[in-house]
């Protein structure tokens, strides 16, 4: 059920995005003759009065179709002012950008709902640094020293790691600045401090810094605080919306500047659904936050100036506004079709890769 719930959330976000385009067109009186979720062969369809609604085979997005290419087939004059191509640039910008705006607004509404239902999480720090995971390879200095997952490092070389944000930085500095030097670390395990410190010797990394092969996280507990004040709910959701958006933009920036190192972190639909299912298993209300996170990601991805994405269409509109006439249709269609094929190819690759990673080795 959790997998189906995650799929439903992802499908809902695609519908919201396309509804943004569709509604922006209809509210301006612009003809929209197709509303599709997915790409490729049609699985289900319904012919409405003016629009065909369809569900297609490849769930990698969706599209709203306009009868601009062959208006005569729909009984329309090619010069009809309600064809999208005949509208002023700003009208078209509104239609193209409406999907992104819809996703951002929906993400904020989801966060308002989450805060209103569950309150907010408050982190209460405790002394030390948590070790969520330890590499088990032979080269892992931490594993050799006897450090285990979920241990808490209380002190390093006699320096206490307090209940503050500086604890992780202090520990990292000691590890990175002392390659090949033995470090004494005081460990708390299962709530009890070990009688003797462990000795760990950082390995010299390629960057000249010491490494011990662990993940580090702040130590502490998370409590939920209920919020009943409507104004506080709205402002708290806005703060969380801003935080997620900034982190997402920073993540895309790192991906673009360090693609070779971060390519493995790119997630396809299968991995996204798997992560959503995990969240749903732990707490069903987490799906709301999951939906907000993915909705913001969809908005930012779509606004990128890449072929076949909304940002690519907006780029052509910007060029049209600057040069006073549109880019020739042959060029636009060639760029968009190439971009769509690349996007579908990437989506299929990610589906295959992520599915293979889910299969036990």
Decide: 306 and 312 in contact? Cβ < 8 Å.
yes
Domains, in order of start, for the chain = 2-116+288-358 (no CATH), 122-223 (2.30.42.10)
Q: What is the pLDDT of residues 43-66, one digit of tens each?
A: 999 998 889 999 988 777 788 999
Question: Which pLDDT belongs to residue 271?
Answer: 47
Q: What is the pLDDT of residues 282-291, one digit of tens each?
A: 566 778 888 8
Question: Which pLDDT belongs to residue 283?
Answer: 60
pLDDT(107) > 60: yes
pLDDT(143) > 80: yes
- Between CA 106 and CA 285 the distance in angstroms is 16
Confidence class for position 270, pLDDT limits 50, 70, 90: very low
Q: What is the pLDDT of residues 297-306, one digit of tens each?
A: 889 888 888 7
CB-based contacts of 193-201 (< 8 A; 24+ apart in sequence): 193/154, 197/155, 198/145, 198/146, 198/147, 199/145, 200/141, 200/142, 200/144, 200/145, 200/147, 201/141, 201/145
The single-letter DSSP state of residue 359 is S
For 129, other C-beta atoms within 10 Å of its C-beta total 23
Give CA angle at 66 (61, 71), nearest 5°.
150
pTM: 0.71
**Is 232 a catalytic site residue?**
no
Percent of the chain at pLDDT above 90?
29
The position carrying tokens 């070790």 is 131
Question: Which pLDDT belongs to residue 284?
Answer: 64
The catalytically annotated residue of 18, 174, 186, 240 is 18
Q: Which residue has the higher pLDDT, 164 or 81?
A: 81
Question: Which pLDDT belongs to residue 244?
Answer: 87
For 282, other C-beta atoms within 10 Å of its C-beta total 10
Cβ partners under 8 Å of residue 191, min gap 6: none
Confidence class for position 17, pLDDT limits 50, 70, 90: very high
- Between CA 75 and CA 79 the distance in angstroms is 12
pLDDT(30) > 90: yes
pLDDT(34) > 70: yes
Mean pLDDT along residues 257-286: 52
Question: Which pLDDT belongs to residue 262?
Answer: 44
pLDDT(208) > 70: yes
Backbone angles phi, psi at 61, to 5 degrees: 140, -145
In DSSP notation, 120-180 reads EEEEEEEEEEEE--B--STT-HHHHHT--TTEEEEEETTEE--SSTHHHHHHHHHHHT-TT
- Between CA 346 and CA 268 the distance in angstroms is 9
Average pLDDT, the chain: 82
Weakest mean pLDDT among 63-67, 180-184, 346-350 = 346-350
Question: Which pLDDT belongs to residue 261?
Answer: 44
Question: Which pLDDT belongs to residue 260?
Answer: 46
């Amino acid at each position: 059920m959790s997998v189906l719930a995650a799929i439903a959330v992802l499908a809902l976000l695609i519908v919201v995005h396309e509804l943004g385009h569709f509604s922006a067109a209809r509210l301006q009186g612009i003809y929209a003759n197709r509303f599709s979720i997915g790409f490729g062969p049609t699985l289900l369809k319904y012919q409405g009065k003016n629009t065909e609604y369809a569900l297609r085979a490849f769930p990698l997005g969706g599209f709203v179709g306009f009868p601009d290419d062959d208006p005569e087939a729909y009984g329309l004059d090619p010069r009809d002012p309600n064809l999208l191509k005949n509208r002023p640039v700003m009208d078209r910008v509104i239609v193209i950008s409406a999907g992104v705006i819809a996703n951002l607004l929906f993400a904020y509404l989801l966060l308002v709902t989450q805060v209103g239902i569950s309150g907010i999480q408050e982190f209460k720090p405790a002394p030390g640094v948590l070790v969520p995971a330890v590499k088990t390879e032979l080269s892992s200095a931490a594993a050799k020293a006897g450090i285990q997952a979920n241990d808490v490092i209380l002190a390093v070389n006699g320096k206490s790691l307090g209940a503050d944000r500086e604890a992780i930085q202090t520990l990292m500095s000691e590890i990175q600045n002392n390659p090949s030097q033995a470090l004494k670390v005081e460990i708390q395990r299962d709530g009890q401090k070990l009688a003797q410190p462990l000795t760990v010797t950082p390995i010299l990394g390629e960057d000249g810094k010491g490494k011990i092969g662990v993940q580090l996280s702040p130590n502490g507990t998370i409590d939920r605080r209920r919020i009943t004040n409507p104004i506080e709910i709205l402002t708290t959701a806005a703060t969380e919306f801003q935080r997620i958006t900034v982190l997402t933009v920073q993540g895309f920036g790192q991906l673009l500047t360090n693609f070779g190192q971060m390519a493995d972190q790119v997630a396809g639909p299968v991995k996204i659904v798997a992560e959503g299912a995990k969240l749903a298993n732990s707490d069903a209300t987490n799906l709301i936050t999951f939906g907000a996170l993915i909705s913001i990601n969809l908005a930012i991805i779509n606004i990128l100036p890449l072929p076949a994405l909304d940002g690519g269409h907006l780029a052509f509109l910007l060029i049209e506004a600057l040069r006073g006439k549109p880019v020739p249709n042959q060029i636009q269609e060639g760029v968009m079709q190439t971009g769509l094929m690349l996007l579908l190819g990437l989506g299929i690759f990610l589906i295959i890769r992520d599915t293979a990673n889910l299969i036990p080795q």
